[in-house]
Structures are given as structure tokens and as C-alpha cells.
Amino acid sequence: MSAAEGLPEPAPAPEPAPDPSVRLFEAALTAARLFAVDPHGLGGVALRAQAGPVRDVWLSALRTLLPALAPIRRVPLHVGEDRLLGGLDLAATLTAGRPVAERGLLAAADGGVLILAMAERAPGSTVSAVTAAMDRGVVSAERDGLTLRHPARFGVVALDEGIGEDEGLPAALLDRQAFRLDLERVAPSDAVVAEAVIEAEGGEAVAEARGRLARVTVGDDVAEALASTALALGIDSLRAVILALRAARAAAALDGAARVSETHARLAAEIVLAPRATQLPMAPEDAAEEDQQPPDQEPPPPEPPAEQEEPPPENPDDQNQDDQRQPETMPDLDELILAAAAAAIPPNLLAQLQLNRDRRSPGRGAGKAGAPQQSRSRGRPLGTRRGLPRGGQRLALVDTLRAAAPWQPLRRRERGPLGPDANIDAGKRVEVRPDDCRITRFKQRTETTVVFVVDASGSTAFNRLAEAKGAVELLLADCYVRRESVALIAFRGTGAELLLPPTRSLTRAKRSLAGLPGGGGTPLAAGLEAAADLADAVSRKGQTPILILLSDGSGNIGRDGQPGRAAAETDATAAATRLRLAGHTTLFIDTSPRARPKARELAAAMAARYLALPRADSLTLSNAVKAGTAALRPTG
């Protein structure tokens, strides 16, 4: 025996853990396979990724998995209603001399996939039309004298190109889509390798699964387990459970199984329910202990073991008894599926939900985020209406011809036969009357002016003025990025002063803020009156004001400049009521070391969003105000 033969064999090296980027894209490809099996039943995929090779690879893989003849239609951001729902085919109508209907994009995507570009910015009318067609499976419209009704059974791939956390897809669309994928952390090299795998396997397996899907059954135990898992994860939508069941059936069809098993249910929980989680589930052991043991009752002492002779381990009867007792200690199907879903929850998902839980809706407005208003000549097209182009309004030529086209045969008969000297082309001309004229409507956003109202009194200067000034300086930079105007009002002593009129100059704003002194009484009513006057002036200019009040809410100087806490509180409440009646958007930051009930009552009187930040530095205060103003900015 040689020396080498006498040495023990080295232990095998542990396999390296797969790269998170690889795991993410493999999960995304799994979702693509399931979605290709049943596009309409699974609703669709919410795909968060910027335009680039990773997103292109995933879309290419999806095209490979779908049937060769399945239509794939891309919907641009500013699609018109006639192009989306269908309407009058103007060219065919003018050629044929009778109304000819044209199918829209929703009907053209029947049996395939609809791709929504920049879905995070999609207008509400587009989202409403798409979700209605997803629910009903048909698209119907009555327009231009035509009644349209076409089948529209499709799945939706919503491309989310949002940059910040305040941008996201509409909730109505997300609720109807089974899969939510985030490909921003996937490396392009990993995506290219996975694409080669998809091209090698092709779409034969998915095509076979598509034929087996109708014969796959689901047991009641699996349905109850998925429903209880959704409840434990804080999912309050019944559509999520239905989509998870359909995903489990698609997974079983891919495996060639006739019935959904535990493995398929766990996969559905991981890929459908986990991304929708709004809370962490309670551990099964803790829940069992809470159910069995009341908190005030001591656990009973363990019973002493029975004095009997242990049988030998090789006794076959004992082995049979152990086999019978073993299933009692095995975890239930509910616990297995819940554990799989809990392990698949993204680590930063609950943190993002905690940050965004108080927001009204996913924001869509980096940049100018003022309230929308109708315009005659500028902004985003909002459709057309009947009318003559007057006062700078624009004539919608195509819509005008479309309105006139169905009436041409009748108008030719009313005109009668042409004389012998008439032009040959006269009979082919389109007769347009004033009732046919359509003008274009536009929607544009007004500019936003953020008005900072800072309490510079002695109490605030002693406690939080330095932090408030630091937070305002950080927020000024954020307003500069958004191209918003800013203004600064400070109140101290016996009155309020407009230190900085609305401006976009970051340098002037910082200079005015740096020179803000502190000390004196708290003329809270005067500060609120000055803020209301400035907000009214901003509104009259066609802009949207947002007021950010930083104060401890303890006024001691009345509106007339005389000291007196009772009169100061009465005047402050009256000024707050004026802000509420004016409808100005306001954020009240309680900068006192401890949150005070009077500050909360004052915020309620002005219908302001209240935010208490005791003992916070300028960065924490700035981040909290950013989250608060994101909810205050108008959306849509």
C-alpha cells in the first residue's frame, strides 16, 4: 500500500451557492413558463426593469415560449381611445362609401399578450379599458355610429420603468396580474446564459402543458392551504388566491401531472403570494403554543414515564408503531406552503411597504407634479370634443373627417346629381359641415410651489431650529431637482415675515435660510395667515401650493401682536380653519421634543397631514418630510 493510498480521501468541496442574480432570473423564467401556459387565466406579469438587455432577453424568452401564431401587441403610453378600443376605419370608409369598423389593440391581442409600455405612467382611462377587458374577456364600445364587440382574452405584461420608490403600477392592474418580477439586480451576462437555455428547450414543453391544463385538478386541501397562506401574509385580495391556484395548475401541467401536488402549491406560494406579502407570518410553533396555553395559566408538569421495560429496537411491532406515530409529527400542508412563501419574501419588500403604507397612491410625477388642468393649446392630448377651432384651439383633422365620413352617402343624395360641367373629382370630395368639426383637448400640469413656514420663536430655537433649518436645506435641493418653486416664511416675535418669495434659485433660498434668526414669542396665527395669503396668491397664478409648517404648535402671541396664550390659540385655530376652507395642501411637522395633543388638534383644524418627529436629526426629518410630501403631491 502506498503512502498516498493510506491517506483518507478528502471531503468533497461544498458546492458554491448560486449567484443571487442567477436565482432572480431563473425565477423570472419560471414565471414566464407558467404565464405562457395560461396567459389570460394568470392575468399577466408586472415587470420592473429599465430598458436594456435584461428586459429584452426576458421578453425574447417569452416570445419563444408562446405559440407561434399568438399575437403580441404593444400599447404606447399615449394611445388614443379609438386605437385602443377600435372605431371607424377612416380610409376604408372613404373608399367604400359606407362605415367600416376597425379593431383596436385590445381585440387584436385576443389569444396572446398585450405589452403596456411605461405602465407606471399610464393614464386612468387606459388602465380602466385594459382591466375591464381582462375581467370580461371581451371589448365593447359604441362610437362613430358603430357598435363594436370583439373577444379579447389576453395576458398583460406591464413594463414598469419607474426610478424612485414612489413610482409604481396602478393597483387595479397589479391586483389582476399573477407575477411581480424585479429584474433591476440581474446582470446582463446571467440573462444571456439563461436565454440560451430557453432557446435550447424551445416551447414544446409549454405547448404540451397548454393542452393538458384543462384536465388538471386541484384538491380542497391545496386550495385551503393557499388561502390560509394568503391570510397569514396579510393579503386581503381574493384574486391573489385564485391566481395562485391557477399558477399551481399550470405548474402541474408543466410536470405532466394530472393533480396539483404539494410541490406545485409551494411554487405558486413562492412566486405569486410572497411578493404580495404585507406582513411577516407568525411562526407555527408560537401560534400553536398561544392556542394551547393561555397566558395566565402555567403549563402542566410533564407526566413521568411509565415504568415498563423497553422493547428491543429490532422489534418489528415497535417499528410499526413508530411508523404510525410519525405522520402525527409531520408538518401540515398549510405550514409547508406558508414556510415556502415566507422564505421567498424579498428582504426589502416589507421595508418598502412600511415606507409607502400611508401614501395615497403610487406616484407618477417626478418633475412638475402640480394639479392637472385643461389647456387649449399645450400639454398632453386628452381627446377631442365637438366644436369650432376658436381662441387658439386646434382642429383635430382626422377626428373631423371620421365624424363626417358616415354621412357622405346621405349628403351626396341630398346634393343631387352633378351637372355636366361639374368637375370629375367633385363627387369624391368629402363634405364637412360645422357639426363635424372636432377640436383637440389638452391636459397639462401646473407648476408646484412649496412654501416652507418655519417657527423661529424662542421655544423652537432652543429645541429644534437647527434641525429644522438643516431639514429645509436638504428639502430645497429636492425641490430644485423637481423644478419646483420654493418660498420661505418665518414667524417670531410679534409677526411673520416673507423671507423668500417664490423662486427657483437654490442659492437665494439657502442664503435666506442661513440668515434666519431665532428667539422671541410664537405668533402662530400670524404665520398661518401669511401662509394662507401666499398660497392664495400662488393659486391665482395657476400654480399648485404645498405648505410645509414646521412648529411645535404652541402659540402665545395673538393676531394683533399682543401676548396671551388663550387668545393666541383662538386666533391660530381661526387661521387653520381658513386654510382648511381654502383647500390648500398642508403638512404639519411637530418639531417639539414630545408630541403634543394641541399640535395634532391644530393639524386637524387645517386638514393637514400630521407628522410628529421627536428627537430627530435633520436627515431623519428631511426623509420623513419627503415621504409626507410625496403623498401630498397630486397624481394622475
Indicate if 441 and 563 belong to the same structural domain. Answer: no
Indicate if 59 and 133 belong to the same structural domain. Answer: yes
Quote the pLDDT of residue 358: 38
Indicate if 406 and 546 belong to the same structural domain. Answer: no
518 contact partners, CB below 8 Å, separation of at least 6: 456, 457, 458, 460, 461, 465, 492
Q: What angle do CA 18, 24, 29 make, to 5 degrees?
A: 110
Distance (Å, whole) CA 260 – CA 246: 10
Domain presence at residue 251: no
Q: 10 is written with which cell numbers?
A: 478528502
* Residues 48-74: tens digit of each pLDDT: 988 888 888 899 889 889 988 899 999
* Residues 313-341: tens digit of each pLDDT: 555 455 444 444 444 444 577 777 767 66
* Residues 394-427: tens digit of each pLDDT: 788 878 887 888 777 787 777 776 655 555 555 5
Quote the pLDDT of residue 297: 45
pLDDT at position 292 over 60: no
Of residues 125 and 302, the one with the higher pLDDT is 125
pLDDT at position 350 over 70: no
Helices (H), 313-464: 316-329, 333-343, 349-356, 397-404, 408-415, 458-463
Indicate if 439 and 474 belong to the same structural domain. Answer: no
The mean per-residue pLDDT over the stretch 346-352 comes to 53
Indicate if 197 and 66 belong to the same structural domain. Answer: yes
Domain presence at residue 345: no
Average pLDDT, the chain: 76
H-run or E-run covering 131: helix 124-136
Strand, coil or helix: 460:
helix
Indicate if 174 and 34 belong to the same structural domain. Answer: yes
Distance (Å, whole) CA 509 – CA 295: 58
Q: Determine how β-strand 495-503 pairs with β-strand 485-492.
A: antiparallel
E strands of 360-480, at which residues?
372-375, 380-386, 438-445, 448-455
Q: 471 is written with which cell numbers?
A: 431639514
pLDDT at position 47 over 70: yes
Distance (Å, whole) CA 182 – CA 274: 13
pLDDT at position 376 over 70: no
* Residues 194-251: tens digit of each pLDDT: 666 666 666 788 899 999 999 999 999 899 989 988 888 888 889 999 999 999 999 9
Residue 626 sits in a domain whose CATH number is: 3.40.50.410
Under the banding of pLDDT at 50, 70 and 90, the label for residue 464 is: low
The mean per-residue pLDDT over the stretch 113-128 comes to 89
Range with the poorest average pLDDT among 122-131, 489-498, 570-579, 612-621: 612-621
Domain count, the chain: 3
Range with the poorest average pLDDT among 198-207, 365-374, 378-387: 365-374
The mean per-residue pLDDT over the stretch 541-553 comes to 83
Distance (Å, whole) CA 529 – CA 536: 11
Of residues 307 and 123, the one with the higher pLDDT is 123
Distance (Å, whole) CA 268 – CA 244: 5
Indicate if 398 and 485 belong to the same structural domain. Answer: no
Q: Which residue has the cell 399610464?
A: 122
The mean per-residue pLDDT over the stretch 106-129 comes to 90
Across-strand partners of 563?
Answer: 557
DSSP codes, 503-544: E--HHHHHHHHHT----S---HHHHHHHHHHHHHHHHHTT-E
Domain presence at residue 57: yes
Domain presence at residue 319: no
| C-beta of residue 349 within 8 angstroms of C-beta of residue 278 | no
| C-beta of residue 218 within 8 angstroms of C-beta of residue 259 | yes
Q: 2 is written with which cell numbers?
A: 502506498
Quote the pLDDT of residue 403: 81
The CA distances from residue 533 to 179, 229, 513, 559, in Å, are 49, 54, 21, 14
Quote the pLDDT of residue 199: 66
Quote the pLDDT of residue 468: 63
Nearest residue to 608 (alpha-carbon basis) of 634, 632, 633:
632
Indicate if 488 and 541 belong to the same structural domain. Answer: yes
Amino acid in position 36: A
* Residues 142-187: tens digit of each pLDDT: 776 677 788 999 999 999 987 766 578 888 999 999 999 988 888 8
Indicate if 478 and 411 belong to the same structural domain. Answer: no
Domain presence at residue 481: yes
Query: On the CB side of 523, how many CA atoms lie within 13 Å of its CA?
Result: 22
Under the banding of pLDDT at 50, 70 and 90, the label for residue 24 is: confident
Using CB atoms within 10 Å of the CB of residue 310, give its burial: 0 to 12 exposed, 13 to 18 middle, 19+ buried.
exposed
The mean per-residue pLDDT over the stretch 288-303 comes to 48
Calculated CA dihedral for residues 260, 263, 268, 269, nearest 10 degrees: 120
Cβ neighbours of 455 (radius 10 Å): 29
Question: Range of 392's domain?
Answer: 373-417+430-445
The mean per-residue pLDDT over the stretch 257-268 comes to 91
Q: 228 is written with which cell numbers?
A: 390560509
Quote the pLDDT of residue 507: 75
Asked which of 215, 232, 262 is the last residue of a domain, the reply is 215
Q: 265 is written with which cell numbers?
A: 402549491
Distance (Å, whole) CA 207 – CA 33: 10
Indicate if 436 and 470 belong to the same structural domain. Answer: no
Distance (Å, whole) CA 463 – CA 456: 10
Distance (Å, whole) CA 572 – CA 559: 8
Q: Above pLDDT 70, what percent of the chain?
A: 68
Quote the pLDDT of residue 240: 92
Q: 620 is written with which cell numbers?
A: 431623519
Indicate if 103 and 188 belong to the same structural domain. Answer: yes
Distance (Å, whole) CA 480 – CA 486: 9
Q: Above pLDDT 90, what percent of the chain?
A: 17
Q: Phi and psi for 418 in degrees, rounded to 5? A: -80, 150
Domain presence at residue 114: yes
Amino acid in position 91: A
* Residues 501-516: tens digit of each pLDDT: 888 777 777 777 776 7
Domain presence at residue 423: no
Indicate if 410 and 497 belong to the same structural domain. Answer: no
Under the banding of pLDDT at 50, 70 and 90, the label for residue 614 is: low
Distance (Å, whole) CA 377 – CA 440: 8
Q: Determine how β-strand 155-160 pairs with β-strand 113-116.
A: parallel
Domain presence at residue 610: yes
Under the banding of pLDDT at 50, 70 and 90, the label for residue 461 is: low
H-run or E-run covering 210: helix 204-212
